Amino acid sequence: MNIEEIALKIEILERQNLSKSAEITNYTQSALTSKVKKMETEIGQEVFKRTPQGLKITNVGTQYLKFLKLMTQEYDEFLKEIGSAQTNSKINFGTSHTTIKIYGASIMNALQINNIPLDVDFTVESSTSLNEKIHNAEADCALTSNPIKHYPDLNYDRIALETFEVISNNSHIISFEKGSPITLLVLSRGCMYTRAMVEWLNKNQVPFTMKEIKSVSSILDFLQIDNTIAVLNTKLIDLYNYSNIHYYNLPQLNKIIETVFIYKKNESQQSPIFQLKHVIESLLEYPIERS
């Protein structure tokens, strides 16, 4: 039984719009048209009527849709009967650009090594955006720097303290006191590291322009340019073993950021979300103590 193929058929029949289904499933519209023709060949009748307003499901198509949903339901019940350990719980897990580069592969590796049945889909966005997605039930949980806004329906479990660094190339050391314009390189405009650095630059009246570059190696290459600095997580810098770095200790710049695990308050302690949380905690070198 190809359960994914059945799910695709259900999507096509329910939505009755191949263009929209193509956007959601990442198939091309022509590929989905071929799927429809194959369905109709299999059952010997049309599942859609072609109208000027678009596709409209036929009575046969409606019956076929009910049959497919019944198959899916019976398959799910079968999996429950033989034991939930044999099914993978799906989690939409949010991370920042920094977090996924540091922990993404380690999390997936730990799940495989320990045979933990979790199917984790990653959503990579800023902490502010992820915070909102969990509040709106568009994501299940997230590991990211502590956002400024806290929603009353969410838990923000502090599980680690991260540090970040302000760096440049050894050959291009910057004197911030001169007030010369600089270029600030960041992985994400919305991350807390970026916000802390921007606040410091504004407070000290240092003119700057910001460039968002999604690749750490590219950021390190761009540091070869005069009057260019970057703000990156300390662990991330260590991962790349880049040697020609100058570190800046800037007065009144707090380089410590709390890392939090965000999830809905009504989650059960036995839920897949808590399974994932325990895996993440086991990977952190210096988790903070619970208050």
For CATH 3.40.190.10, the residue range(s) in the chain are: 87-161+257-283, 163-256
Residue 190: band (very low, low, confident or very high) from pLDDT cuts 50, 70, 90: confident
Which residue spans of the chain are classified as CATH 1.10.10.10?
A: 3-84
- Contacts of residue 132, defined as CB under 8 A and 6 or more positions apart, other chains included, come to none
Residue 59 CB contacts under 8 Å (≥ 6 apart), including other chains? none
Per-residue model confidence as pLDDT tens digits over 213-236: 988 889 988 999 999 999 999 988
Q: What is the Cα 232 distance to its own chain's centre?
A: 18
Residue 286 is predicted with a pLDDT of: 43
Pick the CATH number of 3-84 from 3.40.50.720, 1.10.10.10, 3.40.1360.10, 1.20.1250.20: 1.10.10.10
Handedness of CA 89, 90, 92, 96 (dihedral sign): positive
The pLDDT, as a whole number, for residue 26 is 67
8 Å CB contact between 157 and 227: no
Checking if the pLDDT of 11 tops 60, the result is yes
What is the band of 285 on the pLDDT scale with cuts at 50, 70, 90? low
Q: What is the DSSP string of 105-128?
A: HHHHHHHHHTT--EEEEEEE--HH
Residues in the chain: 291
Res. 82 pLDDT band, cuts 50 70 90? low
Proportion of the chain above pLDDT 90, given as a percent:
45
> Does 203 have pLDDT greater than 60?
yes
Answer CATH for 87-161+257-283 from 3.40.50.2300, 3.30.360.10, 3.90.1150.10, 3.40.190.10: 3.40.190.10
pLDDT in tens, 60-74: 999 999 998 888 888
Q: Looking at domain 163-256, does it have CATH number 3.40.190.10?
A: yes
The token pair that represents 280 in the structure block? 């993440």
How far apart CA 61 and CA 67 sit, in angstroms, is: 10
* Residue 173, pLDDT score: 92
The pLDDT value given to residue 288: 42
